A and B are shown apart, each in its own frame.
Chain A
Amino acid sequence: AQSVTQPDIHITVSEGASLELRCNYSYGATPYLFWYVQSPGQGLQLLLKYFSGDTLVQGIKGFEAEFKRSQSSFNLRKPSVHWSDAAEYFCAVGAGYGGSQGNLIFGKGTKLSVKP
C-alpha cells in the first residue's frame, strides 16, 4: 500500500540556519512526489513536485528537494530559513499527477518553528 512517512513531528531552527525536512514513501511504481506548505488559515500551497527527470527539484521560496529512489526519500531543504517559513509542511505521493490519475496520499506533516 502507498504511504508517506514524515518522521519529524516538530522541528525548531534558528532564523538563517539551514533546514532539512525528511520524507520517506512507499509506492510500487514510479512515484509522483510533492511538498506542500500549510500556514494557519491558508490553503495548502505547492512548494515543488517531482515527476521525472532531474532528481534535484527546485521550488518556490528557495526550497529544493532531492528524490533518492534507493532510499525511497524525498527530503525538503532550504539553505537559510526565514521567520516567515514557520508553518506545517506536508509531503505527498500521487499515483499520477492531478486529474483522473488520482488523489494524493499525505504524510502527517512536520511543523516548523523558527527562532529569532
Chain B
Amino acid sequence: GAVVSQHPSRVICKSGTSVKIECRSLDFQATTMFWYRQFPKQSLMLMATSNEGSKATYEQGVEKDKFLINHASLTLSTLTVTSAHPEDSSFYICSAPTSGRSDTQYFGPGTRLTVL
C-alpha cells in the first residue's frame, strides 16, 4: 500500500521555541493531507486540512497562527507549532488520501512532541 512518512518521530523542545513536523507521501501525490492530534488514551482529533496550493482549513478551536500549515508540494505538508508550550505536548499524526477508486487514507507513524 501507499506510504506516508513523518519526520521527526520524536522531538523535545523548550517552551517558547517552534517545531516543524514534516509529512510526506512517498509513492503517491496528495493534494490534500490531514493533520490530527492524539492525546494519551484519547482518540485522534482533526486539527486541520492541508491543501496544496491554497490555505489550510482549520477545525474550530484550533489556532491557525499557532499551528502553521504549509502544503509545499504534492508530496509534502509541514506543521509548525509556534511558540510551543507544555500543553502542546502531544502525538501529531498526518494522513494523506490516495485518489481513485481505492481512495483510502494512509497515515504517517506520528510525531511525539514534548515541550519542556
With an 8 A cutoff between CB atoms, is B104 at the interface? yes
Cross-chain contact B98 with A98 (CB below 8 angstroms)? yes
A interface residues, tally (CB under 8 Å): 23
Question: How many residue pairs between the two chains, A and B, have CB atoms under 8 Å in the bound complex?
Answer: 61
CB pair A103 B34 closer than 8 Å: yes
Docked CA distance A19–B109 (Å) = 26
**Is B32 touching A100 in the complex (CB atoms < 8 A)?**
yes
Among residues 88 to 104 in chain B, which have CB atoms less than 8 Å away from a CB atom of chain A?
93, 95, 97-99, 103-104
Partner of A43, one of B46, B98, B110: B110
Query: Across the interface, do B107 and A36 meet the contact criterion of CB distance under 8 Å?
Result: yes
Q: Which of B42, B97, B99 has the largest number of chain A CB atoms within 10 A?
A: B97
Q: Which residues of B contact A104 (CB under 8 A)?
A: 34, 44, 46, 95, 105
Residue B4 at the chain A interface, CB threshold 8 Å: yes
Contact between A107 and B43 (Cβ–Cβ < 8 Å)?
yes
- The residue that B46 contacts in the complex, of A97, A103, A107, A108, with Cβ under 8 A, is A103
| Least CB distance, B48 to chain A, in whole angstroms | 9
* A103/B42 in contact, CB under 8 A: no
Q: Are B104 and A49 in contact (CB under 8 A)?
A: yes
Q: Are B107 and A103 in contact (CB under 8 A)?
A: no
Q: How far is the CA of A45 from the CA of B105 in the complex (A)?
A: 9
Find residues 25-62 in chain B having any chain A CB closer than 8 Å to their own CB. 31-32, 34, 41-46, 49
Q: How far is the CB of B24 from chain A (nearest CB, A)?
A: 12
C-alpha gap A57/B12 in the complex (Å): 41
Tell whether, in the assembled complex, residue A108 and residue B42 are in contact, meaning their CB atoms are under 8 Å apart: yes
Contact check, A43 vs B4: say whether CB atoms are below 8 A apart.
yes
Q: Is the CB of B108 within 8 A of A43?
A: yes
In the complex, the answer to whether A46 meets B44 with C-beta atoms within 8 Å is: no
Contacts A43-B6, A99-B99, A100-B31 known; list 10 others, CB within 8 Å: A41-B9, A41-B109, A43-B106, A43-B108, A97-B103, A98-B98, A99-B103, A100-B32, A107-B43, A108-B41
Name A15-47 residues within 8 Å CB distance of B: 36, 41-46
